[in-house]
Amino acid sequence: MKNGLENRKVTPGSLIKWFGKIRIKQKLVLIIMIVSLASMLIASGSFLIYERIIMQQRMASDLSALVEMLADNCEAALSFNDPTDAKHILSSLKAVDSIAFASIYQADGTVFATYQRSDFEMGKIPEPQSDGYHFGKDWLVIFKQISLGGKPIGTAYLQSDLSAISEFLRQSLITLGVVVMFSALFAYYLAIRLQRVVSTPIFHLSETAAAISKNRDYSIRASIFGEDELGVLTAAFNEMLSEVEKSHSSIRDSERKFRTLVDNIPVKVFMKDKESVYLSCNPSYAADLDISPEEISGKTDYDYYPVGVAEKYRADDKRIIESGKREDIEEEFIQHGRHCWVQTIKIPIMDDANNVTGILGVFWDITERKLAEEMREIHVAQLENQSAELERFTYTVSHDLRSPIITIKGFLGELIKDAEEGDIDRLHGDIKRISTAATKMGNLLEDLLNLSRIGRIADEPVDVSLDKLAHEVAESLHGPISERGVRLEIESDLPIVRGDHVRLHEVMQNLIENAIKFMGDQTRPGIQVGSRCVDDETIIYVRDNGQGIDPVYLDKIFGLFEQLDGKTEGTGIGLALVKRIIEYHGGRIWVESEGPECGSSFCFTIPLKGVS
Amino acid sequence: MKKYFIPFILLAFSLSSPVVFAEEPSKEYALKAAYLHKFFFFADWPEKAFYEAESTIVIGILGEDSFGGIFTQIEGKSINGRRLTIRRFGETSLPEMLRRCQILFVSRSLDKDEKSILASLKDYPVLTVGETETFLESGGMIGFITKKNSIRFEISQAAAERAGIKIRAQLLRVAVRVIEE
């Protein structure tokens, strides 16, 4: 209750506050009304005061004339002691409404005659005084000496009420009130009309400013209404708008270019604030997160990444915000079951005062590059391997080819000498030696040619039944098999594969020949050709119970010219050839052996029929 | 209804003894003397009335002088710029002498000769004042009457106008009786 009253109290402060809140239009009208009302009231007040003074003066002079006349008229009555006549004279005052009381005194101050208005009751009759009038609160009183021949014979007294003045003032007040009221109404009407001259440009200007700030449309211009200060202000405002529009359009232009760049660049771009909360990202990144670009605002890494990853990212952000230095980070992770790499550049965003306000992140997928690098490394290793192989090959070839040539050359000399001596037996022996060496050289060259052909000359792949193939090989090796007394077992359900028939024949032949060759001292030699399934992969093997291989050499035996011992005949190309053929077909080959005298089994895989 | 003022009541008591009148100037004659010279203020004489000396006003007293020394107090005073002079006339004074007065008081003692005296002054600008009841009928202009213990007077405006004397309305109003024609 008390508060409510206090709140409603009008204080100068609250008035000023209220005045500050109302519109200029209302302010102008209010000011005009205050000014015109104040001037009207002052004018009216002055008029009333002036009128009152004039009225009083007139009344005083009227009354003076009246008392003068009274004094003149009463001279005889006083001179000849006729109060009846004086009373009669006084009674004529009835005609004057304002006179409430009148009296005539004799020279000695005694009352000679009186008059009293019918509605008036006089209390004590005043003592006679010297000439003059004075205004009381309700009365104007006047004394006038009556004299005859310069000798005072009495005094006249008049008392007039001021109701005429107050009545006149009351009527004037009503009239003025009405006049002021109509004037105020007219002034209000004029104020409403005329304030527009000032308020319309201001209102228009403020409307324009509001429209601009609402719609961000800087092409709007305020109309200029005149050449006064408001006109100058409006012109300056328009000029500023032009400037703003120009710079705004260039900003928009650059913004558009920037947007276009960011939206279309294949790398991922995002922005975060100082708290590592996302502000925005480009469509590329959004597509990566499977969201629309708008959705990211307000989100954090926790919303999109596993906790560990998110924490790592946020730690990176924190470090960069604190250091203010750009960082280049390469990251590796598993996405959709695939190994991925990305390169991320995080750049601190600075404001004009060089404070970090956030982070700009740019990253892109470098998986392909990484894979390419890995591939390159593999290729380099392969190339190094090949180059070593080539070197060895060159060395071996030149060495191996030289030895039969030396033999041939040597025996050619012997041949010439023996021919001169005519020793036919030795001549035959020489020729046989030369022939053997030439054959050996021919074989070597044949093998090398064969090896080089792989990968260069390819027949159309066909379905090859390994079952059938093994039997063909067994047929062609019938000689060596029966010579060594080997028992050859071929599994009947070997798979049908797709490949080059001739090459695969060579593989099978080489493997079986090898097995026969390295039977060692085995008294009951046996070779088994079969297949087994491991992890959806069919492995074909050729197993023997021969001399076996020291595990140390398991990897080496597929190298070119890697002969494990010098005693064995052969060019040292066979297994290298086999390996190359299998790899050419997209398979793998390896050897398993428990060690010397434990036998060995050569295993390989090869794409089955119907698998491209 | 007539109201009496204290002076008049006092006067009424004093009038009850006639002896007072004979011996020294009574209140009656003091009043009559005052009235006599005040008449100057309420009447206008034609210019020819002042033929002796322009600067005097003459009040004449014809017959028995009951005023005592009252006039000595006011004689020589200036009235309307003229010096007041009192002249006393015996019963046998010539009318030419009387005609030089502006105001002539005819004493009660001459009531028998009133008519002849007034006739001799007829048409001359002399304001005649008497104290008998028949004074106006005898051709006088102002007659004192002692009415209910106060001194009043009656006026014959006709006689005054005949003599060229204009009596002011104020005086006429105060008079008990006015004869106009």
Any idea which of A45-59, A77-91, A261-275, A558-572 has the lowest mean pLDDT?
A: A558-572
Distances from the Cα of A174 to the Cα of A167, A177, B58, angstroms? 11, 5, 66
**What confidence tens digit (pLDDT) does each residue in A252-272 have?**
899 899 889 988 988 899 999
Distances from the Cα of B124 to the Cα of A381, B107, B155, B159, angstroms? 183, 19, 17, 10
Identify the sign of the CA torsion A200, A205, A209, A212: positive
User: Which residue has 């007072």 as its token pair?
Assistant: B20
Q: How far is the C-alpha of A169 from the C-alpha of A424, rounded, in Å?
A: 181
- Chain A and chain B share a number of CB contacts under 8 A equal to 48
Any idea which of A9-13, A14-18, A346-350 has the lowest mean pLDDT?
A: A9-13
Supply the pLDDT for residue A438: 87
User: Which chain A residues in 93-122 lie under 8 Å from chain B, judged by CB atoms?
Assistant: 110, 112
Supply the pLDDT for residue B46: 86
User: Which residues does A304 contact at the CB level (< 8 Å), separation at least 6?
Assistant: A289, A310
- Side chain identity, residue B123: D
Any idea which of A10-24, A452-466, B13-27 has the lowest mean pLDDT?
A: B13-27
Supply the pLDDT for residue B19: 39
Asked if A600 reaches chain B (Cβ–Cβ under 8 Å), the answer is no
**What confidence tens digit (pLDDT) does each residue in B72-122 have?**
878 888 887 788 888 889 888 888 888 888 899 999 888 888 888 898 888
**What confidence tens digit (pLDDT) does each residue in A426-452 have?**
888 888 888 888 888 888 788 778 777
**What confidence tens digit (pLDDT) does each residue in A328-383 have?**
988 887 777 778 888 999 999 998 888 889 999 999 889 888 889 989 999 998 88
Supply the pLDDT for residue B52: 57
CB A599, CB A549: distance < 8 Å: no
CB A549, CB A600: distance < 8 Å: yes
Q: How far is the C-alpha of A127 from the C-alpha of A28, rounded, in Å?
A: 62
Task: Give pairs for B156-162: CB < 8 Å, separation 24+.
Answer: B159/B128, B160/B43, B160/B127, B162/B122, B162/B123
B176: nearest CA partner in chain A: A82
Any idea which of A109-113, A242-246, B64-68 has the lowest mean pLDDT?
A: B64-68
Residues of chain A contacting B7 with CB distance shorter than 8 Å: 81
Closest approach of A118 to chain B, Cα-based (Å) = 19
Identify the sign of the CA torsion A495, A496, A497, A499: positive
Q: What is the mean pLDDT of residues A540-555?
A: 82
Supply the pLDDT for residue A561: 64
B118: tokens are 């007034």
CB B83, CB B58: distance < 8 Å: no
CB B143, CB B136: distance < 8 Å: yes
ipTM: 0.80
Closest approach of B116 to chain A, Cα-based (Å) = 29
Q: Say what percent of chain A tops pLDDT 90.
A: 19
Residues of chain B contacting A104 with CB distance shorter than 8 Å: none
Q: How far is the C-alpha of A42 from the C-alpha of A23, rounded, in Å?
A: 28
Q: What is the mean pLDDT of residues A573-587?
A: 82
A344-358 burial, b if ≥16 CB within 10 A, otherwise e?
bebebbeeeeeeeeb
Percentages of chain A per state (helix, strand, coil), in multiples of 5: 55, 20, 25
pLDDT at A473 over 70: yes
